[in-house]
Structure 1
Amino acid sequence: MHTDLSPHLHTEKCNIMINLLMECRREHPFRKFVGFCNSFYHQMTKCLKEERLARRARNYEKSLEMKKKFRKPKKEDTEYVR
């Protein structure tokens, strides 16, 4: 199962792939059941995966920045004496 195909959620490249798939399915209502539109589906899935991996990498980098921001050593932590 793929993600939501709303245009505002995806890049222009993926929106083109999504539109090609939807157009194929509209034009060939019976052939779509025997794999006529599979090439468009595979291209769309590949594009969505690239988007997802890029988004995941951006979120990971952002999380590292947030960890650095919140995990700065405090002065009282560095002056701990036994």
Structure 2
Amino acid sequence: MHPDLSAHLHTPECNVIIKQLKDCYREHNVRKFVGYCNKYDNAVLACLKKERLTKRDKNIQVSKKWKDRIYDDTPAPTS
């Protein structure tokens, strides 16, 4: 199962591979069920994983910046 394969959600690199997979499915209606298009499917999975990890790393960096900003702006508690 893949996530949404809409072109606007993915990098141009992944969109090329996704197009190849869809073309393979369209051209080989029956063979796709016995693994004929698996090389494209595996390439799509690898590309989507690479995208996901890149987004995750970017989000971690952004989150750290926000946390640093929040904690730097709060005054120290006084007793």
User: TM-score, normalization: structure 1?
Assistant: 0.90
Alpha carbon RMSD of aligned pairs, Å?
A: 1.1
Q: Does 1:12 align with 2:12?
A: yes
CA deviations over 1:28-57 (Å, ceiling 9, x no partner) = 000000000000000010000000000000
Q: Which structure 1 residue ranges, 4+ long, deviate > 6 Å from structure 2?
A: none
User: TM-score, normalization: structure 2?
Assistant: 0.93
Size of the aligned set, in residue pairs, is: 78
* Higher Rg: 1
- Distance of 2:55 and 2:6 partners within structure 1: 16
Instruction: Specify the code of the residue in structure 1 equivalent to 2:14.
Output: C
Between the aligned residues of both structures, percent identity stands at: 44
Unaligned 5+ residue runs, structure 2? none
Alignment match, 1:31: 31
Secondary structure of the residue aligned to 2:4 is coil
Secondary structure of the residue aligned to 1:71 is helix
